[in-house]
Amino acid sequence: VTESRSDLEDLHLYATPREQRFRRFASLEFEGQLYMTPYDFIQAVTSDEPKRKQEFYNATTARENELNQILMETPPVWKGSSKLFRNLNEKGVISYTEYLFLLCILTKPHAGFRIAFNMFDTDGNEMVDKKEFLVLQEIFRKKNEKREKRGDEEKRAMLRLQLYGYHTSTNSVLKTEGEDLVPRSYWDTLRRSTSQALFSDLAERADDISSSLSDTTLLVHFFGKKGKAELNFEDFYRFMDNLQTEVLEIEFLSYSNGMNTISEEDFAHILLRYTNVENTSSYLENMRCSIPEEKGITFEEFRSFFQFLNNLEDFTIAMQMYNFASRSIGQDEFKRAVYVATGVKLSPHLVNTVFKIFDVDRDDQLSYKEFIGIMKDRLNRGFR
């Protein structure tokens, strides 16, 4: 990249919030394209700012042999674990489209994993190969074009190079009937794509897509160093479940200080993070008064709550069916609705803690609308 430092800083003005965050945390650059390391990704979803003092306009440039050496550290998918990203640390590369895909995984219920797998499995043989997975690149590229900010075409071309590794706008690959049919989220894009007749076009372009992209940690992990392996649903599911667990473990351990529990106040801090709540002190003070004796939240309770959050849409539907949408609800009603909608059993202590955090007027009732709004922000980690 030969552009000046100020030019690269100016690109931030043309980037969406997700693009800005990726550029801020990405620490590697190869042939003009920015990449995250596994460490960068973990930081991006668990921290407000990068711990390293390295900005998007000063990423480390990698040579091809250095990139290949990094990818040699990638284990096969059957050796995956809930410590994969922590073990790889700096020994990995993640593209922007893969970053979007991983964010989708973190915010979706386990039932949605089958939708994602079926989306990639274009020939219906219960296995996904590398070419099928690379359709992801084209779908997210096309989605991004719909969201690009208007302005200097040269600047936007530079931004595309950084994020996708290409200079100019790609040809249309999604067959849409109009702007009003474009889904609002990347997950909706994946889900809609299962019913769109787009794969015949992309299959013809698969070789071109493959040859124009550098290998990444995910591609090597899923399809081997030669790219010939195929991915089955069990391994795909395990990878997604492990990633959700790993991020939750990192957040939990950052507060537990080696103990088996975190305090109710720490749980409140984590819960209110990335939300639109401006004055968190009132929630924290309310909880301190309501729960004077600390009992602690275990990791299993912590994990079960975020599994519930990933099913928030189903929970919302259940609440509307119960006709609680316009009024407050009690703990028993809340706990039953969670179980009916998601199959997740929340412990009485966890439910009580949640109520004490959000029950501002202390009537042991939860404001449904306020709770749902705040939790949608938390679920999407500030990118609602």
Residues with Cβ within 8 Å of residue 44, at least 6 apart in sequence: 21, 22, 25, 36, 50, 99
**pTM over 0.75, yes/no:** yes
What is the per-residue pLDDT for 139? 74
- Of the candidates 329, 326, 120, the one whose C-alpha atom is nearest the C-alpha of residue 223 is 120
What is the per-residue pLDDT for 176? 40
Q: Give the pair of three-digit tokens for residue 316.
A: 């919302």
Number of other residues whose CB lies within 10 A of the CB of residue 233: 16
What is the per-residue pLDDT for 2? 45
- Of the candidates 317, 330, 381, the one whose C-alpha atom is nearest the C-alpha of residue 358 is 330
DSSP state of 172: P
Rg of the chain over Cα atoms, rounded to whole angstroms, equals 22
Number of other residues whose CB lies within 10 A of the CB of residue 72: 10
What is the per-residue pLDDT for 151? 59
Q: How confident is the chain (384 residues) per 10-residue block, as mean pLDDT?
A: 52 80 90 92 88 62 84 93 95 93 86 82 86 78 64 75 66 41 57 48 54 83 93 94 94 91 91 76 80 87 91 80 68 88 90 86 76 76 56
Beta strands 261-262; 127-128: pairing state: unpaired
- How far apart (Å, rounded) are the C-alpha atoms in residues 53 and 45? 17
Q: Give the pair of three-digit tokens for residue 131.
A: 């070419």
What is the per-residue pLDDT for 181? 46
